[in-house]
Amino acid sequence: MPTFSAKAQLTRGFKNGFGWLPSGWRRSAVVNIGLMSIVLLILLGVLAVAVSKTGGDFRQSWKFYDAECRGSNTSTANTLLHLLINILSTTILASSNFFMQVLNAPSRLEVDAAHARGIWLDIGIPSWRNAFYLSYFKLFTWLSLFITSIPIHMLFNSSVFHMHSLMGDFHLTIATESFLHGAPYSLPGASLLTNELLSEAPKKKAEYEYYGFGTEFLVPTFQDFLSQNYAAQAKYTSKTAAQAKTWNRLEAKECSEIYGSECKGLRDYRDVVLVTKGSGWRRADLWNLSIAADELWEPIVPRDQLKTLWCDTQ
């Protein structure tokens, strides 16, 4: 067990080890300056990364982190970031408050000068009165810290924000269950829809919607289907056929609520497959084409071949 003499030696050794630091409020000032320097370096580092990520365009926001909306990862990241921001801003606020109190405290000479003019000053407490009876330098610095401290604290919290990305477009596929398990299919589906048909269609909304869903300019022409020059649409369709069996299955009511609204946007899901009953369709069962049209469509959609894709559109 250390004796009193040993404790005294340890205390003197501890003090001597930090003897280079000033004493009193000056030591606290050095500590605050050190903390503020660390905060400044952190903020400059974040600014440098943000500028590099946005290419120097200050009008853009830096996407710090993104994840699936269904999970809680973004909410957790948002909470942790705001916790870090509040720690940094509280450090700045506490440091500003310390220096405001130092600037607000009168020196011995200032107290004597005030007494000589018949004026009293507050000692040991923050005082509005003191601020206007001290030097102009102290007044200016005190006011600068007072005006900037709280706004900086508020601006820090608004520098990071949580944003949900709501999508308005999606890839719609109507197919049978076997489509999800590798059964054959053909574009453009049972409608035999081509861009030429859309171009010739009446432009009235009610009549136009009869021809199907999707964007007119994304529908290939008949020649594109004949020469198989529709890589963009085929890419989406083949991707859907390969992956859709692993997607979440929704009840019809839930699906209608998500995709039937025009104003909500899509947050949890994007592309969708409407699964129909039955084994599929044959062109001979759905279409009574002329001999010429039948021959034109035979290389694209054989008349007697069972197909599982009813409709596919973006």
**Interior/surface letters 60-99, b for 16+ CB within 10 angstroms, e for the rest:** eeeeeeeeebeeeebeebbeebbeebeebbeebbebbebb
Check residue 135 and give its pLDDT: 81
Cβ contact 311:191 at 8 Å: yes
Domain ranges of the chain: 27-52+65-158, 172-313
- Region 213-218: mean pLDDT is 56
| pLDDT score of 202 more than 70 | no
Q: Cβ contacts of residue 219 below 8 Å, gap of 6+?
A: 188, 193, 194, 195, 198, 313
For the segment 29-44, what is each residue's pLDDT rounded down to a tens digit? Answer: 888 888 888 888 988 8
pLDDT: which is higher, 88 or 219? 88
| pLDDT score of 162 more than 80 | no
pLDDT band at 203 (very low <50, low <70, confident <90, very high): low
Check residue 212 and give its pLDDT: 47
- Region 222-237: mean pLDDT is 72
Check residue 176 and give its pLDDT: 83
For the segment 85-119, what is each residue's pLDDT rounded down to a tens digit? Answer: 888 888 888 888 888 888 888 878 888 888 888 88
Enter the pTM of the model.
0.48
- Region 172-193: mean pLDDT is 80
